[in-house]
Structure formats: C-alpha cells, structure tokens
Amino acid sequence: MLVDWAQISEALWETIIMVTFSLLFAVVIGLPLGILLVVTRKGHLWENKYVFTVLNSVVNIFRSIPFIILMVAVIPFTRLVVGTSIGTAAAIVPMVLFSGPYIARLIENSLLEVDPGVMEAAQAMGATPRQIITRFLIPEALSSLMLGITIATIGLIGASAMAGAVGGGGLGDLAITFGYQRFDTMVMLITVGILVIMVQGLQSTGNILSKKIRRR
C-alpha cells in the first residue's frame, strides 16, 4: 500500500496552523479573562460581584458545551468572522471559543495558587493594582501558567482532529477519512503516531520551560 507523504505533511501543516492560531487568539482572550476572574472576586484588588458572576457564568457555559456541538452551534458566527464556515480558517473560530474559556480557568487557577502573602507584601510597599498584577501575580504564577498553556495546547490538538468535521483538514481529518472511511490502516497509524509524538514533545517542552521559568 502506498503512503502519500505529501498529503500527510500537508495535513500536519494544517494542524500546526490551526493549533497555533487558535492558541494565540485563545490566550489573548483567556489571559485577561483569567486575570479578571481572580481580581474581581471577593476581597481582591478590584472586587466586583457583578463582573465576576457574569464572567464566571459565561466561562462555565462555554466549558460545558462539547466541542463537536459548539462547532456546529457557532457556524453563523464563524461565517460572520471569516466569511465561510468550512476550511482551516473556519475551524479556528470554534477552537478559539472552546479553548479561550478553558485557558481562562487554567490561568485563574494558577493565579489563585500564588501565596497571598506576596500580594500583601506588594500592597505594603505601595504597588498599584496594575503593578501587583504584572510585577507580582503573573511572574509568580508564570511557571504554573506555562504548564496550563501546555495542557490547553494539547487539548487544541484533540479539538483540531474533530475540526476535520467542518472541513478543517489536518491530521485528525486525515486519520478519519483514510483509516475509518477507506480502511487504510497504514495512514491512520502514521497520523496517530505523529499526533502522539507532537503531544509528547509539547508536554516535555512545556515541562522544561516551566522549570526554567521558575528560576528566572
């Protein structure tokens, strides 16, 4: 059985594009959201019950929708944003909506882990709320944030496989079309192998980065 390597490398490229861009936008949305989820809670820097309750509910709603359903449900929105509802670019929209709130939660958790004493010291030395966030909370949480982002990236790889359903392409799509629909076991095994290597590589890189950051 012949293996079409060009096809595989194209699928790999599509996966990389989808994951990278989704991650980028998801972090852009998730980071401020995660920070707000921390600082608006009771007793924190910008305590605000309404903002917190609203954001918290929105994140919960998005987090409770399975990706495959989210993808279909946001098709009109996707069309509005990228002009089409099929293709790699179109897959990125639901992936961002899926991953952004997830990243917000991960960031919230990392920030909450920071020793409250550090914030107290910051307040005692007269830091502004902004400085407390950027110079104390985030640097102290960065190592754990890195691990969170790694987990989110791996989650996005999984989501990108499903994105094949809207014609997003990518490795997952390839595995499904060849392996499941055409019984081409070889291609399926190869794509799965690549996915495993990617996830492994990402996790180790994330771990190493996280360790490095802890000391910098």
Residue 151 contacts by C-beta under 8 Å, 6 or more apart in sequence?
106, 206
Our CB check for another protein shows the closer of 66 and 126 to be 126
Our CB check for another protein shows the closer of 182 and 214 to be 214
Under the rule (CB under 8 A), what is the footprint of another protein? 115, 117-118, 120-121, 123-128, 131, 135-136, 139-140, 142-143, 213-216
Our CB check for another protein shows the closer of 49 and 214 to be 214
Shortest Cβ distance from residue 102 to another protein (Å)? 24
Our CB check for another protein shows the closer of 135 and 182 to be 135
Shortest Cβ distance from residue 95 to another protein (Å)? 31
Our CB check for another protein shows the closer of 133 and 157 to be 133
Shortest Cβ distance from residue 127 to another protein (Å)? 5
Our CB check for another protein shows the closer of 22 and 210 to be 210
Shortest Cβ distance from residue 96 to another protein (Å)? 29
Shortest Cβ distance from residue 7 to another protein (Å)? 45
Q: Amino acid letter at 186?
A: M
What are the tokens at 25? 């936008």
Shortest Cβ distance from residue 42 to another protein (Å)? 12
Q: Is the torsion defined by CA of 80, 83, 84, 89 positive or negative? A: negative
